[in-house]
Amino acid sequence: MAGSQETLLAQLDTLISEGRNPATMHIDEGTSLDIVRMINREDHHVAPAIEKILPEIAEAVDRIVDGLSRKGRLFYIGAGTSGRLGILDAVECRPTFSVDDTLVNGIIAGGERAIMHAVEGAEDDEVQGQKDLDAHTITRNDVVVGLSASGRTPYVCGALRRASDHGCTTIGIACTPESPVLTLSDIALCPVVGPEALTGSTRMKSGTAQKLILNMLSTASMIRLGKTYQNLMVDVNASNEKLRARAIRIVIQATGCEISIAKQALSEAGQKTKVAIVMVLCNVDATIASEMLQNSNGFLRQATKE
């Protein structure tokens, strides 16, 4: 045990995310305003770090689109904050883009309990990472994204190894260059955001960087798959009053029609926003609008050019 702890301590000493930030050494002496200013200054490093790896993020999007186009699925897998961020992005895809619950999946070390509570030792279990991925019967068309601020999480490394064994595309997101999560992945996404304002608290800059990258991966992929028209969420799942109002507004924004026409079109379209937009733009009924969308593989812009 002592030997393994010494090894881990040596590893932590090499991780950028675990380093001490010289700009915040006196953060504990500051006023509330001083503290939030220091944190804000550090946050300004995040977007530029992501900008440096945009070509790699775009490559990851291309691979995700290719996999999903071949009936594959997207998996995010991580531990702690990283795992929770993956779950957050996964569960938002259904209401935003009306995709099936099984298309984008979030897996966290320790299972559902770990979403709300820390599960001791869960991130250290490489075999469990493999088992949790196996439970989804992955195929070569699936894409597996491993999330780890440090880039060394055994649970995530195990999952990535298993994904590679099955021929899946693997994408690693970590804030430490040349870390195992990155070297085990087909595509390595490494925004180097520097040490945290609070040493080792990777829910801060590292977490923000991971969240921004996940936003890009899912949103850009869904745009490429025809889930939007212009910059409108035309595949939104209107499952509550706010979203039903948003659907009406989207039809109006896409077509320039009156509220009454948007409401009528949505009613006749079974509340399917895309169908309603084609109905209004092309002056056709719901049946023909649906056929036009089917012929264009769901791409609204193409459907309206027929």
Count of domains for the chain: 2
- One domain for residues 166 and 264: no
- One domain for residues 51 and 182: yes
Q: Is residue 51 annotated as a catalytic residue, yes or no?
A: no
- Helix residue ranges, H only, the chain: 2-14, 32-43, 46-51, 54-69, 80-97, 113-116, 126-134, 154-165, 180-183, 205-224, 241-255, 259-268, 273-282, 286-295, 300-303
With a CB cutoff of 8 Å and minimum separation 6, the contacts of 302 are 296
- One domain for residues 72 and 179: yes
Rounded to whole angstroms, the Cα distance separating 45 from 31 reads 22
* Final residue belonging to a domain, choices 168, 194, 224: 224
| pLDDT for residue 284 | 96
Q: Is residue 42 annotated as a catalytic residue, yes or no?
A: no
- One domain for residues 258 and 177: no
Both tokens of 100, joined, read 């099936």
Q: By C-alpha distance, which of 210, 212, 213 is closest to 17?
A: 210
Query: Does 30 fall in a domain?
Result: no
- One domain for residues 172 and 111: yes
Rounded to whole angstroms, the Cα distance separating 101 from 233 reads 18
Q: By C-alpha distance, which of 99, 167, 157, 92 is closest to 130?
A: 157
Q: By C-alpha distance, which of 129, 174, 149, 177 is closest to 80?
A: 149
| pLDDT for residue 239 | 73
Query: Does 68 fall in a domain?
Result: yes
Residue given tokens 């090894």 in the structure block: 7
- One domain for residues 265 and 146: no
Q: Could you tell me the residue range of the domain that residue 144 belongs to?
A: 46-224
Q: Which of 42, 123, 126, 196 is catalytic?
A: 123
With beta carbons less than 8 A apart as the criterion, state whether 155 and 85 touch.
no
Q: Which of 18, 56, 59, 92 is catalytic?
A: 92
What one-character-per-residue DSSP string does 204-234 give?
THHHHHHHHHHHHHHHHHHHHTT--BTTB-T
Output the domain CATH number for residue 65: 3.40.50.10490
| pLDDT for residue 121 | 86
Query: Does 23 fall in a domain?
Result: no
Give, in order, the Cα–Cα distances in Å from 201 to each of 61, 86, 254.
Answer: 28, 18, 43
Both tokens of 289, joined, read 């609008």
| pLDDT for residue 7 | 59
pLDDT string in tens for the chain (306-residue length)? 445 666 555 555 556 777 899 999 999 999 999 999 999 999 999 999 999 999 999 999 999 999 999 999 999 999 999 999 999 999 999 988 989 999 999 999 999 999 999 888 899 999 999 999 999 999 999 999 999 999 999 999 999 999 999 999 999 999 999 999 999 999 999 999 999 999 999 999 999 999 999 999 999 999 999 999 999 999 887 778 888 899 999 999 999 999 999 999 999 999 999 999 999 999 999 999 999 999 999 999 999 985
